[in-house]
A and B are shown apart, each in its own frame.
Chain A
Amino acid sequence: MSRANGTLLRVENLRTWFPIKGGILSRTVGHVKAVNDVSFEVRKGEVLGLVGESGSGKTTVGRTILRLIEPTGGRILYGEADLARLPKGALRPYRRRMQIIFQDPFASLNPRMTVGDIIGEPLVIHKLAKTPRERVERVAELLKLVGLSPDHMRRYPHEFSGGQRQRIGIARALAVNPEFIVADEPVSALDVSIQAQVVNLLQDLKEDLGLTLLFIAHDLAVVEYISDRVAVMYLGKLMELAPAKELYRNPKHPYTEALLSAVPIPDPTVKRERIVLEGDIPSPINPPSGCVFRTRCRYAIPECAETVPELREVAPGHYKACIRDDIL
């Protein structure tokens, strides 16, 4: 991948391994390779969807980019800096530029703080409001921006529904005027009827505020709707990355093909083949040799166990990590 001018964030060979401690001396006996050599870039103003099943490492990618989890290796190039190597204290200015929206709207808001304090806290931390009055005004503005009422300021999180809480979380992330937001499964915990509202809100905000989003989800339909490009993860590795429409119409990787075949089509007359993946996702402690997907791939050949497939461009802007070109 060449470094385009419009690149906001570039992740190179990112690794996040969690040590497994064992024995009485707490020695490291192995690693959970949650993210293993992942590279991609996020372009200014785009929504990059990141999909994969539970345990694929997609959430870890998002949190590692924000250094909420320490990377084991690789580079996170943002602006002029490599966030992976920046000392903790030097991260603060970047915390104003990049934010995160969490999956669980019930765990992500401090139950003992009022909504006004929750949304106002980033303003205090980054000294973005000169007077308490100015802060209250800004909080009111943010609440209106996400479709809530300024009257909600004095209430506590438990008084709100899941969708409303997620809006509060979004308002908090927007308080610092970030340019980049990691949306970590922002609608997975919500009722289906509310999901569309929150996705639309994110899309509107993205247009109005010129945001760039890394949209993490396991729901392919939601990702297709909001994303410009989509990256597919499996067992800590990227399998395929392509413009959204291209990926959905023309998947090149067997894993993507299987994922897409599981998306329900709201038309009972359409018949199609369901590809059922046998077995469970293998353990990230001891992933399969070569291609990590080969144990569940219906196209696997002996060579798949030998080489780790590189993510390579197979069509303009369309990357896949699979050694076979004779399929799909």
Chain B
Amino acid sequence: MRRLLKNPAALAGLLILAAFLAAALLAPFLAPYDPTAQDLAARLTPPGAPGHLLGTDRLGRDILSRLLFGARLSLLVSTTSVLIGLLLGLPLGLVSGYLGGRLDDLLMRLGDIQLSLPFIVLVIAVMAALGPSLLNTVLVLGVTSWVVYARVVRGSVLSLKELEFAMAARALGASTPRILLRHLLPSALPPLIVVATLELARIIVAEAALSFLGLSGVPPEIPSWGQMLADGREVLFFGGWWVATFPGVAISLVVLGINLFGDALAEVLDPRSR
């Protein structure tokens, strides 16, 4: 941990993430306006105008306030979805790659089937079956992303298990869980961390797509960055560049922060880089 804090990239990443987390938590105190309050007289105010630091959107809602409140939903949805996906995909990938055979075939074909279904169709089906709600949105986004993690881990394990240190562990009589957790998992983590950071960004945008289609189960009055992007798209060509730009910048910054931190984490975990 100390080495992590000494790494400038990790520190920068951590600061960015901490800032967004603080913004999300303290949104009610930081936001100058109610994020849902409309002020049609001040609609599409450009950034920098008095009272509206980042401008307003089509309905005159303050962008800064919406950004701060939006951080809550976007960060919550993306992190929990990634965690759910990891929780499913990581163990399945480990076992699938290590044991191989029928189980591996079955899991990977299931993954293929799922990936061959258009994501939106899948979501519509699930929402129709379970009813739209925030929890269901998180579940759908999380559960469907298991394939990505499982494949990355499986790929690493396939090559790692052939290395002599894995064979040495077997020769010593190490149990399968021990080999998986002590010998294969640590070396399989770095690519997984990279994928998880990319997934996080993808899920923020995916949630936006669902919101846009009215499938996210999130009430429209609760702002999310994705929703703001979708709103901004409509006025983008009519001079309202700031409406979509600021949530876009926020998403990029979060992804950057996670990437910096994730890369540093992967590096710190590798004793060879010491």
Give the distance to chain B from A236, nearest Cβ to Cβ, in Å: 20
CB neighbours (8 Å) of A112 from chain B are: 186-187, 269-271
Q: Which of A83-121 contact B (CB under 8 A)?
A: 91-92, 95-96, 99-100, 102-104, 107-114, 121
Determine whether B119 belongs to the interface, using a CB cutoff of 8 Å to chain A.
no
Q: Which of B200-252 contact A (CB under 8 A)?
A: none
**17 extra interchain contacts, Cβ-Cβ under 8 A, other than A109-B168, A121-B174?**
A63-B167, A66-B171, A68-B171, A99-B171, A100-B168, A103-B164, A107-B165, A108-B167, A109-B165, A111-B187, A112-B270, A113-B182, A121-B182, A122-B172, A125-B172, A125-B174, A158-B272
Determine whether B109 belongs to the interface, using a CB cutoff of 8 Å to chain A.
no
A-side binding surface: helix, strand, loop or mixed? loop
Determine whether B143 belongs to the interface, using a CB cutoff of 8 Å to chain A.
no
Q: Which A-B residue pairs are the 7 nearest by beta carbons?
A: A95-B173, A108-B164, A156-B271, A102-B164, A112-B186, A107-B164, A110-B165
* Interface size of A in residues (CB-CB distance below 8 Å): 29
User: Measuring CB to CB, which residues of chain B are less than 8 angstroms from any residue of chain A?
Assistant: 163-165, 167-175, 178, 182-183, 186-187, 269-272, 274
CB neighbours (8 Å) of B269 from chain A are: 112
Residue A91 contacts which of B173, B182, B187 (CB distance < 8 angstroms)?
Answer: B173
On whether the beta carbons of A108 and B271 are closer than 8 Å, the reply is no
Residue among B163, B169, B173, B270 having the largest count of chain A Cβ atoms under 10 Å: B173
A172-B169 Cα distance, complex, nearest whole Å: 10
Give the distance to chain A from B166, nearest Cβ to Cβ, in Å: 8
CB neighbours (8 Å) of B174 from chain A are: 121, 125
A92-B167 Cα distance, complex, nearest whole Å: 14
- Output the nearest chain B residue to A111 by Cβ-Cβ distance: B272
User: Measuring CB to CB, which residues of chain A are less than 8 angstroms from any residue of chain B?
Assistant: 63, 66, 68, 91-92, 95-96, 99-100, 102-104, 107-114, 121-122, 125-126, 156, 158, 169, 172, 176
A109-B165 Cα distance, complex, nearest whole Å: 5
- Output the nearest chain A residue to B162 by Cβ-Cβ distance: A107
CB neighbours (8 Å) of B271 from chain A are: 111-112, 114, 156, 158
Give the distance to chain A from B221, nearest Cβ to Cβ, in Å: 49
* Given the contacts A100-B168, A102-B168, A156 and B187 also touching, CB distance less than 8 Å: no
A111-B164 Cα distance, complex, nearest whole Å: 11
On whether the beta carbons of A95 and B165 are closer than 8 Å, the reply is no
- A sample of 23 inter-chain contacts (CB < 8 A) reads A63-B167, A68-B167, A95-B171, A96-B173, A107-B164, A107-B165, A108-B163, A110-B183, A111-B270, A112-B186, A112-B269, A112-B270, A112-B271, A113-B182, A121-B169, A121-B174, A121-B182, A125-B172, A125-B178, A126-B173, A156-B271, A158-B272, A169-B168
* Given the contacts A110-B183, A158-B272, A172 and B172 also touching, CB distance less than 8 Å: yes
A95-B163 Cα distance, complex, nearest whole Å: 19
CB neighbours (8 Å) of A108 from chain B are: 163-165, 167-168
On whether the beta carbons of A156 and B173 are closer than 8 Å, the reply is no
CB neighbours (8 Å) of B163 from chain A are: 107-108
- Output the nearest chain B residue to A126 by Cβ-Cβ distance: B173
CB neighbours (8 Å) of B272 from chain A are: 111, 156, 158
Residue A92 contacts which of B164, B173, B274 (CB distance < 8 angstroms)?
Answer: B173
CB neighbours (8 Å) of A91 from chain B are: 173
